[in-house]
Amino acid sequence: ASIWHSASWKFTKATVMNADQQHSRIFCSNELVVESGSAVRFSSC
């Protein structure tokens, strides 16, 4: 399950759209990233 916060999602979406394959591997590790005080779990696999 992927939990997206609006601010983080906008940034992440732009990043993934600009370099899908490169960043997909990073997000695939399901790391918990704290941005703007909000915890976001990335899992784009």
Tokens linked to 12: 């992440």
Which residue ranges make up each domain of the chain? 6-41
Of 44, 36, 31, 33, nearest to 1 by C-alpha is 44
**pTM over the 0.85 mark:** no
What pLDDT does residue 11 have?
Answer: 66
Task: Give the DSSP letter string of 25-36.
Answer: HHHTT--EEEET
Per-residue pLDDT tens digits for 1-45: 456 556 666 666 666 555 555 545 555 445 555 555 555 555 554
